[in-house]
Amino acid sequence: MSFEITVDGRPVPVVQGQSVGAALHAAGITSWRSTRREGRPRGLFCGIGVCFDCLVTVNGRESQRACLVPASPGDEVTTS
């Protein structure tokens, strides 16, 4: 089964069972935030919830690790 989530106002396809981070990566979105000091791009790094490089806001809940949040139909994700 597949469905869509919305990321910064754009639809992103999701395959059932994917995390938000996996869906972003599969859609070719490999960077969605940057470091505070040097502005270096960040996205999935460890992919298992150890680091905090993949932080997003999901349905209004800030600072969620995209690699750990299961994507659900209709999720609203913001990256900034």
pTM, two decimals, is 0.92
Q: What is the pLDDT of residue 50?
A: 95
Residue whose structure tokens are 């960040």:
42
Name the residue ranges covered by the structural domains of the chain: 2-78
Looking at residue 80, what is its pLDDT? Answer: 77
Question: Per-residue pLDDT for the chain (80 aa), expressed as one digit of tens each?
Answer: 899 999 999 999 999 999 999 999 999 999 999 988 999 999 999 999 999 999 999 999 999 999 999 999 999 999 97
The whole-number pLDDT of residue 1 equals 84
Amino acid identity of residue 1, one-letter, is M
Note the CATH number of domain 2-78.
3.10.20.440
